[in-house]
A and B are shown apart, each in its own frame.
Chain A
Amino acid sequence: MTTVTRTSQPAPTTDPPTTRRNRDRHHRGAARWIVLAALIAGAVVMLFPFGVIVLNAFKSPADYSAGGPLALPTEIFTSGMIDFWNRVNFGRKLWNSFMIAGSVAVLGVLVSLFNAYALGIGRVKGRLAIVVLFLMANMLPQEVLIYPLYYIAREVGLYDTQLAVIIIFTVIQSAFGTYLLSSVFGTFPKEILEASALDGASKWQTLWRIIFPISRPTLSVLMIFFFIWTWNEFFIPLVFLISNDNQTVPVALGVLQGQRMMDATTTSAAALLGIVPAIAFFLIFQRTLARGITAGAVK
């Protein structure tokens, strides 16, 4: 029985595979265009919101009520956007966002570097428990910290100050940074550290003259991440920054939207002003970012 099936099996399969594969290849020639068309259609759906925002950001209110949201503008109308910019003092919001995100990026990397130096290179006692603690802090929802932080900030006079937001995000971002850098530093070549110690370098000198220059690429990826993450944050800045002069870009736009105070064209102009910096950062940091995203995924 087994021999029969074994001998009878190859007979039909010797010929069909080649024809099937040929048909398959032929078939794929058409199929790939279908796949391409489907993906382009998907990309158009993804881009539709951006397109519609750009289309309406430069429309006059009269133009909008006459032609609706999908018509092309009859003229380029910029005074809606300029009015909005001046009314909310958007330049100030950009500067606030930039100050907060920039300070957090630098301070967060610095704190991560110190922590990871002690944990990854110094291998202090109990380092595993400490790293797990930092990892857990990463998972905490901000809601479980917000009220006590709000209360403490009011008590010490830091409520509604950018400093409070900078301190909080420095800690939150460095919890991730510490976790990541500690594992990177754990694989740091020992010979280099030993050579440095033999040359009589102190720990402080070893950190700045050896560890820092060698790990600079990782630190810069981390810094970009911290900057963009902090820029995009909404919840904590919403709670802490209540006065107009302190608000960040997402908070200012989110609060205005919540009040339903803006007409259609002003809202699209405002949304465009929120999108443009994000796209600018993306284009500037693209290469480093792509590397960082994949580096973060593969442990």
Chain B
Amino acid sequence: MATTSTPARVDARRRGYWIYLLPGGVLFLAVIVIPFVMNVALSFTEWPGVGEISWIGLENYTELFADDAFWASFRNSVAMIVAMVVAPTLIGLLLASALFDVIGKRFGGKSASTLRALFYLPQIVPVAVAGIVWGWILRPENGALNTLLEAVGLGEFAQNWLGDPGTALPSVMAIMVWVQIGYPVVIFMAALQRVDPQLHEAAEIDGAGWFRRFRAITIPQIRPETFVVALTCTIAAMKVFGPIFVLTRGGPGDATNVPSYFAYQNFFERADVGYGAAIATVLTLIIIALSIVFIRFQAASERKERR
């Protein structure tokens, strides 16, 4: 009896698992899928948030591509990618290998992990709070940085760091490097432990200096982690909101505005919901496109390696 009904019973057993997807699925539909579809639909409308919704087709998008503020916000996104992806990855690689190769091996693992924890510290603080800390340090009058510059005789460089259009973006970028740096350091140090030490020993015997070993062994060996760091940090850089809200509110002018804050302004300050929805939709498309490019690139480089 039991043997004849096996295929049907296997099928039934499989079907029985659907029920476990029900709570998560319903919530996912209500919180992600439906709002996402609604947002895309809203991007084709003109709506101040109350009253009549009027369908205007692609007008928001044509307006968007002619809007200087929109292009400024995406230029600043590129700056955020430099500050949150490029700089932390390069500096993190250098710091991690210095910590692993020199400190870990010559001064003991304890000193290496202590230094690593210190570099990681800004990562655990809520970004909004980190923004408050830095906004406070960069205050124009009596701020800690200006006071420090005066104390060491560089008083002429003291300025209104976040209020001046020329220094606001570089200041925010420097802050984001500070926020972000700990993440690649931790990931890369874990990655370095994976690298077979015999590779380094063999190269050393062959007379390869530290930099050549770093380039020829370390970097290719930890490529998977570098991809993960670059992808996750790029997505984070495209989404950055909290530090901008707390530090500059996108100002002065649009000097530090980013797409997420630009969308927020249109949703909740200018009551131009359709326009905000269009910005958010474009931002989403760019993030998805970047992710696909990254994943393709990673797959291609893995294939090349295997060959």
Contacts and interface: CB of A to CB of B under 8 A. Distances in A.
B220 to A, nearest CB: 16
B102 to A, nearest CB: 4
Interface in A113-131: 114-115, 117-119, 121-125, 130
A254 B132 contact: yes
B54 interface: no
A43 B115 contact: yes
Contacts of A137: 28, 32
Contacts of B241: 142-143, 234-235
Nearest to B16: A203
Interface string B225-247: 10011000001001101100110
Contacts of B115: 39-40, 43
Interface stretch (A2-10, A79-87, A277-285): A277-285
A35 B264 contact: no
Interface residues of A, number: 98
A129 B241 CA distance: 30
A224 to B, nearest CB: 12
B235 A167 contact: no
Q: How large is the interface on B (under 10, 10 to 19, 20 to 34, 35 or more residues)?
A: 35 or more
Interface string B20-32: 1101110110111
B107 interface: yes
Interface string B104-118: 001100000001001
Contacts of A32: 102, 106-107
B152 to A, nearest CB: 11
B242 A145 contact: no
Contacts of A226: none
Interface in A248-285: 249-251, 253-254, 257-258, 264, 267-268, 270-271, 274-275, 278-279, 281-282
Contacts of B30: 152, 171
Contacts of B75: none
Given A148-B34, A148-B39, A258-B249, A250 B129 contact: yes
A257 B36 contact: no
B17 A122 contact: yes
B38 A148 contact: yes
A17 B35 CA distance: 67
Interface in A59-115: 64-65, 68-70, 111-112, 114-115
B246 A257 contact: yes
Contact of B225 (A167, A239, A298): A298
B194 interface: yes
A125 B15 CA distance: 9
A253 B291 CA distance: 33
A147 B131 contact: no
B81 interface: no
A39 B117 CA distance: 12
Given A49-B133, A114-B21, A139 B209 contact: no
Interface in B151-187: 151, 178, 181, 186-187
Contacts of A43: 115, 118-119
13 contacts: A21-B207, A56-B144, A68-B142, A111-B24, A115-B25, A124-B15, A150-B267, A167-B27, A232-B126, A232-B127, A258-B249, A264-B136, A282-B121
Given A115-B20, A257-B246, A298-B225, 18 more contacts: A20-B207, A49-B134, A115-B24, A115-B25, A118-B21, A124-B15, A139-B287, A139-B291, A143-B260, A145-B31, A148-B42, A152-B30, A234-B241, A234-B245, A235-B264, A249-B126, A253-B128, A281-B124
